[in-house]
Amino acid sequence: MNSIWLYTIGSVLIVSIISVIGVVAVLFTKEKLKSILLFMVAFSAGALLGDALLHLIPESIEENGFSNSISLYVIAGILIFFILEKIVHWRHCHEISCDSHPHHLATMNLVGDGVHNLIDGMVIAGSYSVSIELGIATTIAVILHEIPQEIGDFGVLLYAGIKPKKAIIYNFISALSAIIGAIIALAIGSHAENFTSIIVPLTAGGFIYIAGSDLIPELHKEVKLSKSFVQFIAILMGIGLMMLLLIGE
């Protein structure tokens, strides 16, 4: 049990530290940064789909046997993330300026990101509760998604007029909510027998939603054949990474 807490808290701390990566946004031109972000978006889309379909769902089936309840939990995960995005206006912005997006307040972005990170913490904790290998795979998938997410969030704060140093601090504080989410999930999991059988397929549904609703549509904005091909390769690379992690399980 102690190892689960150690792995979980260590992983969410790493995810939280990723929040400071937004500072690299000021090192690149807008066009160069956009191309880097779109590659990372494609890579993270593949990783999220790979984790959901190669790790989370198969693990849930292996632990509990296949039943309609697993499918319903996956669907519930998709719907829950849809509702969260509607209510909190949680945006997965992957453009540095976001001029065309309705970011009215930096506060809304920070609140939405805080909820996002809280859920990330619960997702990571739930995965480690099943197995260390599944926790590592899910942590990697979350990190790969967080990199373009945090750079985008940093850009939103700068666009809202917040100074770079303060933007980094605000992003990091928001990211620390992942620790709270992890602690909540571990506390619930220790008292609820069916916690992991519910949180794992819910997570799979959430990852499928993020990849299909937020990430892949961003990639469709680029129609140039050569860049689209690179994005396709990046998606395959993300899936391939999750397949490589199967070797360790």
Question: Which segments within the chain are labelled E, that is strand?
Answer: none
Whether 27 maps to a domain, the answer reads no
Provide the domain limits for residue 93.
32-248
Q: With respect to residue 241, please indicate whether it lies within any of the assigned structural domains.
A: yes
- Alpha-carbon distances of 131 from 47, 55, 138, 142, 198, rounded to whole Å: 18, 11, 11, 16, 15
Task: For helices 132-159 and 195-209, give the axis angle rounded to 10 degrees.
Answer: 40
pLDDT per residue over 111-165, tens digit each?
777 888 898 999 999 999 988 999 999 999 999 888 877 777 776 677 667 887 8
Residue 11 lies in a domain: no
Q: What's the Cα-to-Cα distance from 26 to each of 18, 23, 32, rounded to whole Å?
A: 16, 6, 11
Q: What angle do CA 158, 117, 84 make, to 5 degrees?
A: 95
d(CA 118, CA 66): 29
Domain count of the fold of the chain: 1
Residue with the two structure tokens 């309705």:
102
Distance, CA of 48 to CA of 134 (rounded, Å)? 13
Question: 65-123: per-residue pLDDT in tens?
Answer: 888 999 999 999 999 988 877 766 554 454 444 444 444 456 666 777 788 889 899 99
184 falls within a domain: yes
pLDDT tens digits for range 15-50: 998 878 877 766 666 677 777 878 888 999 999 999
Q: What is the pTM of this model?
A: 0.79
Residue 23 domain-assigned (yes or no): no
The verdict on residue 5 lying in a domain is no
Q: Output the DSSP codes for 99-139.
A: TTS----HHHHHHHHHHHHHHHHHHHHHHHHH-HHHHHHHH
